[in-house]
Amino acid sequence: MKSKFGNKGMPSQRQLRVSELIKRKLADLILRMDFFDSNISTASISISEVRCSPDLKVATAYVLSIGEHKTEDLVALLRVNTKELRFQLGKTLDLKYTPEIRFIEDISVDQMLRTERLLKDTKGSLNFED
């Protein structure tokens, strides 16, 4: 009997292909879109990952700000413009159904830096005697 999640919760090859396609197309759209105001138009937005649901109806995009702008502000701006982004994405994708797009702040880099800092602090506080 096949599991509800396929291969132990791992995404299928189709999910991975569609996620990567959406990631590339979304990044291109964000570069070309002119819905940004003058303060945010200079921001560098990175789509670090896109994950699609098993039925490919929902795509979650993980957003990271590169530079001085807060990631939360950019995610809010993208969420306000989700309908337009989805419409434009639908015109460029060769899919039967254009997935709903959800934007989430990518905190993986912050977590990595925090872990690295903790490891350095721990290493400095340990005294190894020979």
CATH number for the domain including 88?
3.30.300.20
Calculate mean pLDDT across residues 103-119.
79
Task: Output 58 or 11, whichever has higher pLDDT.
Answer: 58
Q: 5 lies in a domain?
A: no
Residue 21 lies in a domain: yes
Which domain does 87 fall in, by range? 13-125
> Looking at the 3D structure of the chain, how many domains does it have?
1
pLDDT tens, position by position, 25-43: 998 888 877 655 555 555 6
Please report whether residue 108 resides in a domain.
yes
pLDDT tens readout for residues 78-106: 898 899 899 999 998 888 899 999 999 98
Choice between 1 and 129, residue whose per-residue pLDDT is larger: 129
The answer on pLDDT for 24 being more than 90 is yes
Q: What are phi and psi of 46, to 5 degrees?
A: -115, 130
d(CA 60, CA 34): 22
Strands 58-66 and 100-105: parallel
- In this prediction the pTM is 0.73
> What crossing angle do the helices spanning 82-92 and 13-32 adopt, rounded to 10°?
110
Chain centre to alpha carbon of residue 130? 47
Is 18 inside a domain boundary?
yes
